């Protein structure tokens, strides 16, 4: 009887030990997988904040259709987004149509700060405007001579009513 108790106790202790090791490994592995995801999200929001901060430095800079790429004396919508993103290590094509194919699609309901919003303000089926979504329903962009780089409300605006797509390039 005494040796039976020892064997049962040995099996019980072995079972508890294995269970403890399994749980510890599970927690350790799950925790290590969660950390990089949080770091990626933080890096993304940090990049978005940097892109927006860079763009805000140019508030009021003149609008000029066909502005020279890389110039900061005037911008059109796509030269503005191209310049601001490039300053933050992200290369975009020059035109709004080309930019609308960069990165990955994001639905209007899932917009995050730093996403690019594309509109067809001429209502002719061709994308002709790009803006940077700032979050909280605001856009950072340029579109009109005399106004220059500005912040606009997205909801109910011309850009909302003529919205075509959005892309995440960060």
Across 2-128, the runs of DSSP E, i.e. the strands, are 104-105, 116-119
Which of 88, 129, 130, 159 is catalytic? The answer is 129
For residue 37, give Cα distances in angstroms to 32, 40, 41, 76, 90.
10, 5, 6, 36, 21
Residue 3: what are its φ and ψ, rounded to 5°?
Answer: -70, -30
Q: Which of 52, 77, 117, 127 is catalytic?
A: 77
Catalytic annotation on 27? Answer: no
Active site residue 77: yes
Please state, as a whole number, how many other Cβ atoms lie within 10 Å of the Cβ of residue 92: 21
Whether 116 and 86 have beta carbons less than 8 Å apart is answered as no
42 Cβ contact partners less than 8 Å away, ≥ 6 residues apart: none
Catalytic: which of 141, 154, 159, 164?
141
Instruction: Please say if 141 is a catalytic residue.
Output: yes
Active site residues: 77, 129, 141
């Amino acid at each position: 009887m005494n040796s039976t108790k020892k064997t049962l106790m040995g099996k019980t202790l072995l079972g508890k030990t294995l269970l403890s090791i399994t749980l510890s490994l599970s927690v350790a592995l799950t925790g290590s997988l969660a950390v990089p995801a949080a770091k990626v999200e933080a890096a993304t929001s940090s990049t978005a904040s940097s892109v927006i901060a860079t763009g805000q430095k140019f508030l009021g800079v003149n609008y000029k259709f066909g502005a020279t790429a890389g110039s900061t004396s005037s911008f059109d919508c796509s030269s503005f987004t191209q310049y601001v993103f490039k300053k933050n290590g992200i290369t975009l094509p020059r035109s709004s149509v080309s930019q609308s194919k960069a990165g990955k699609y994001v639905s209007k309901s899932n917009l995050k700060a730093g996403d690019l919003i594309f509109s067809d303000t001429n209502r002719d089926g061709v994308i002709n405007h790009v803006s940077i979504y700032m979050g909280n329903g605001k856009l950072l962009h340029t579109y009109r001579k005399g106004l220059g780089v500005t912040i606009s409300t997205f909801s109910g605006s011309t850009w909302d009513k003529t919205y075509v797509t959005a892309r995440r390039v960060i």
